[in-house]
Every structure is written in structure tokens, then in C-alpha cells.
Structure 1
Amino acid sequence: MTHDELLQRIDHMAEVVFPAIKERTELITKTQKEKFDKTHTIVKINTGSYMMIRLPTRSSKLAPAYQGLYIVIRKTQGGCYVLQDETRALMPRDYPPSDPKLISVDETALADELVEVQAIINHRANIGRREYLVQWKGQGPEEDEWLMPDKFTNLKTIQDYWTRREKQELSTMDKIVPTTPKRGRPPKKVSNNEAANSAPKRRGRPPKQPK
């Protein structure tokens, strides 16, 4: 290959081959992105939004999947979120977009109507749409209210409720004990001869003896 042919080959690569490779790469990347966006919804979370955090592990299917009520302080360059809890303390680590769950909270209601829960006394509906009957601290039974799990600022209250129910069910099962016959020796079987010999004698005067 001569010097001129080499220069022509270089010009051909720069003007035809490399642009074609770039165009093909951009087309494939765009197609993959569109396919990914159809099955994955990326929610943009703004600063000041309220969210809950997905728990990495669950002790059982009835255990809550999310915890807390946190406020987004800022977003890092890596795309993670810096969060603050209800006591205004920063969380010890940042959370990726897959962990938080965005929720809608009225800030004025959170500040003015935050009431302490005395206990959860009942539940209804199925998993995913379950509600809990809450007894408020310092208020009467007429103020009891049904709430969804995302209304709790601390999901430990829900965990305590299920722990208490499990203990009650175990206690109830322990009280149900099947009755068993009394232990003792079986009645002794008596044969016919023994029954005849052991039959009580008739009472009466003894027979007269001959003189």
C-alpha cells in the first residue's frame, strides 16, 4: 500500500466508517433507553419532599416493607439522596433512588396535628391495603381512627402490634389442652371359680350339731 493509498484509507475511515459506527451506537443506546423507560418509572424527587425507606430485610411477610418518615435535604452528584428524620437529624448514610418511596404529606398537618399513638388495637383488609385501628394517647375510644401504614411516622408501632397478636395467639393455643382419661389400675378380672369362692355367705343361724 502506497502512501497516497494509506492517506485515502485514513480519510475514508474518518469520513465514513467512524461516523457510521457513532450513528449506530447512538441508535442502539436510544432503543435500549426507550425499552428501559417503558418498564422502569424514574420518579424525580425534589428537595423538601417526604419519603419512606425500604427495609433491606423483613422478618416475615407481615412485617412492614418501609420505615420512617424522612425529608429530602439534597441530592448528591452520584444521584443519591441525603435525608433527615422527624427530629431534624441527618441520616448516617445516603440512599439510592431505588430505596426511597415518595409519599404525600401535608406539612402543616404534620406540625400541628402530630399525635402520639397509644397502641394499635385492630386491623382490617388484606396485605397491601391493610388499615390499622389506632388508639390515640390521652384520648377516648370515640377518637380511635383507621390509618394506612404510610401515616405512621414510626413503623415500630405496627411491628409491636403483630408481636403482641402472635403472643396472644400462642397463649390461646396453650390453654386449649385435650382432656385425657385419668390414670389408674384397670379393674381386676375375676374368673368364675374365684367369683364362686369369693361370693358372700348367707347370714343366719349355724346348723345344729347332732348330739
Structure 2
Amino acid sequence: MTEVVFPAIDAKARSTQQKMIERFNRTILHNEFPDGAKVMAVDPIQGDKLTPRYEGPFTVVRRNTGGAYILKDGTDELLGRKYAPSQLKLVLDDLDDDDIYEVEYITAHRTAEAGGG
């Protein structure tokens, strides 16, 4: 009985554990930010719905061995705490002038259908 039951229980436990690991790894965001990148950080003490959710922009100084990021502000001073990758959002601050157009007037316009709003 011990040659049949215990190996089956062990195999089932390993299978369940592997499924739990795979499910957990699917939920994790693997964000990596290069040094010098501009990021916004989540505000840990957001007051109410009308206050901004993110603060910044900050510049990434480096990533420590634990995976947290060390940031500096606009005056090149290091922030007092470290941020996990899930607390940061990349900021794209370089806009191309080629994608901006100036329009004199609109010749044809789609009209809203009656009752469609």
C-alpha cells in the first residue's frame, strides 16, 4: 500500500504546486526600467479621488539587488525610499513634432445619428 498511495499523493502535490506557481507567475508584471529613464511613482498616501494617483516624474538611478528601484527627483536628490517595479510607470517625454498637425478648418464632418448622442 505504501508503494502505491504515497507516490501518488506526492505526484498530485507536486502537480498542484506547479500549477500554483504558474498561475502566480502569470499575475506578476515584469517591468524593467533602464537607468536614466523617466518614471512616475504611485502616491502611497493618496487622499481622495481627486488627488493625483502618481507623483513625479523621477529619474531612475539604478536597480538594487532585490529588484527595487532607486530614484532621484528634478533637483538630482535621491528619494528617501525605494520603489518596486509595480509602483512605477514609464513616462514618454519625447514627442515627435512630425506627428502634430495644424488644421485650418474641417470640410466634412460626421454627424451624430438621431438618438445616438
Give me the whole-angstrom Cα distance separating, in 2, the residues matched to 1:23 and 1:47: 44
Helix, strand or coil at the partner of 1:98: helix
Q: Structure 1 residues 87 and 38, CA, compared in 2 at 3 Å: closer, same or farther? A: same
Find out whether 1:80 has 2:68 as its counterpart.
yes
Q: Where does the alignment leave 5 or more consecutive residues of structure 2 unmatched?
A: 96-117
Question: TM-score under structure 1 normalisation?
Answer: 0.36
Amino acid at match of 1:34: E
Letter in 2 for 1:55: D
Q: 2:26 aligns with which of 18, 25, 38?
A: 38
* Structure 1 pair 21–47 and aligned structure 2 pair: CA distance change class (3 A): farther
Task: Give 1:50's match in structure 2, choosing from 19, 23, 38.
Answer: 38
Higher relative contact order (CA closer than 8 Å, sequence separation 6+): 2
**Based on CA coordinates, which of the two structures has the bigger radius of gyration?**
1
Counterpart Cα distance in 2 of 1:65 and 1:37: 26
The total of aligned residue pairs comes to 89
Equivalent residue in structure 1 for 2:86, among 87, 90, 98: 98
Structure 1 ranges of 4+ moved more than 3 A: 20-25, 27-30, 37-40
Query: How far is the alpha carbon of 1:53 from its aligned partner?
Result: 1.0
Q: Please list the CA deviations of residues 61-88 of structure 1 after superposition, one character each: whole Å capped at 9, or x if unmatched.
A: 1110010111111111111111111221
Supply the distance in 2 between the matched residues of 1:24 and 1:31 (Cα, whole angstroms).
10
Please show how residues 1-211 of structure 1 align to structure 2 within 5 Å.
Answer: 21=10, 25=14, 27-106=15-94
When residues 32 and 49 of structure 1 are mapped into structure 2, their CA distance, relative to the original with a 3 A threshold, is farther
CA distance in 1, matches of 2:25, 2:33: 17
Runs of at least 5 residues in structure 1 that lack an aligned partner in the other structure: 1-11, 110-211
- The alpha carbon displacement at 1:97 in A equals 2.2
Aligned AA (1:88)? D
Q: Which amino acid aligns with 1:96?
A: A
Tell me the TM-score normalized by structure 2: 0.60
Give the CA deviation at 1:35: 1.2
Instruction: After TM superposition, give the deviation of residue 49 of structure 1 in Å.
Output: 1.8
Question: CA RMSD, aligned part only?
Answer: 2.8
